[in-house]
Amino acid sequence: SCPLSSRCCAPSSPAPAMNCRAEVLEVSVEGRQVEEAMLAVLHTVLLHRSTGKFHYKKEGTYSIGTVGTQDVDCDFIDFAYVRVSSEELDRALRKAVGEFKDALRGSGSDGMGQISLEFYQKKKSRWPFSDECIPWELWTIKVNVVNLANEQERQICREKVGEKLCEKIINIVEVMNRHEYLPKMPTQSEVDNVFDTSLKDVQPYLYKISYQITDSLGTSVTTTMRRLIKDTLAL
């Protein structure tokens, strides 16, 4: 499947660009925990990387809407997380994670893959080149799916994965707290180059989600890569 992006543009190169901050998290989960674990991490990141909707006013100033939050309990993990109250965003993430999970399950891999959340900025280029996407933050979650034999192991896994996710959340918050590069607040004309304005209740930074599955041969099949080639050829 294709990477889910908030705006269509030429896919950025698979490797993070020069000044892009990259963070990698690793989790080992059981098959049915994949979705919730991914959602927990992605939502936590997006919670920090979303603002209320901007309302530009005449004088070049803007006001910001309010971001609501809600708690989500996980069914298969002893864990709860906070996400922004935006059904659209939740749907988008669930779709991406669902595809990831299917790919993990179906590709015949031994259950290893990674899902990436990349925040980028668009830079308008002159014709004939399409807009460039410059990533400034990349979160990669490496997943290792384990198979458990009995209910007892599953119970232990529930707790352990819950604890692991707690650690991951703390890690994420640490990174966020570094207050490193964030795109400047844009003017009204530029806002679409920085934020995803398609949602009606929140405004996350432009992001795209991609994933790759490591098949049993150890080679990684990058779906983004494939698309890049396709698009370049189509151009």
Partner 1 sequence: FFLFQTVQVIVQARLGEKICTRSSSSPTGSDWFNLAIKDIPEVTHEAKKALAGQLPAVGRSMCVEISLKTSEGDSMELEIWCLEMNEKCDKEIKVSYTVYNRLSLLLKSLLAITRVTPAYRLSRKQGHEYVILYRIYFGEVQLSGLGEGFQTVRVGTVGTPVGTITLSCAYRINLAFMSTRQFERTPPIMGIIIDHFVDRPYPSSSPMHPCNYRAGEDNGAVYPSVEDSQEVCTTSFSTSPPSQCVFTVTKAHFQTPPPVVTDTLKVPVMGLAFSHQLSSSRLSYQPAALGVGSADMGYPVLFAGGLNAAHPHQLIGPGKEGGVPPVPSQPAHGAQADQERMCTPLDGVHYSAATPSSSEDTETVSNSSEGKCGSPHDLLETIFIRKVGAFVNKPINQVTMANLDIPFAMFAPKNVELEDNDPMVNPPESPETESPLQGSLHSEGSSGSSTGNTHDDFVMIDFKPAFSKDDILPMDLGTFYREFQNPPQLSSLSIDIGAQSMAEDLDSLPEKLAVHEKNVKEFDAFVETLQ
Binding site for partner 1 (CB under 8 A): 44, 47-48, 51-53, 55, 63-71, 73, 78, 80-82, 84-86, 166, 169-170, 172-174, 176-177, 179, 200-202
What angle do the packed helices 34-48 and 87-106 form, to 10 degrees?
140
Angstrom distance (rounded) from CA 149 to CA 146: 10
Which C-beta is closer to partner 1: that of 129 or that of 181?
181
Question: Cβ 188 to partner 1, closest distance in Å?
Answer: 16
Angstrom distance (rounded) from CA 192 to CA 215: 37
Which C-beta is closer to partner 1: that of 82 or that of 225?
82
Which C-beta is closer to partner 1: that of 48 or that of 105?
48
Question: Cβ 38 to partner 1, closest distance in Å?
Answer: 16
Using CA atoms of 152, 155, 156, 161 in order, give the dihedral in degrees to the nearest 10: 150
Q: Tokens for 191?
A: 């806002």
Which C-beta is closer to partner 1: that of 85 or that of 144?
85
Residue 182 sits at the vertex; the CA angle it makes with 22 and 174, to the nearest 5 degrees, is 55
Q: CA 97 → CA 34, 43, 57, 115, 201, distances in Å?
A: 8, 11, 37, 8, 21
Question: Cβ 45 to partner 1, closest distance in Å?
Answer: 10
The answer to whether the beta carbons of residues 3 and 223 sit under 8 Å apart is yes
What letter would DSSP give residue 68?
P
Which C-beta is closer to partner 1: that of 40 or that of 206?
40
Question: Cβ 229 to partner 1, closest distance in Å?
Answer: 38
Q: Tokens for 9?
A: 């543009």
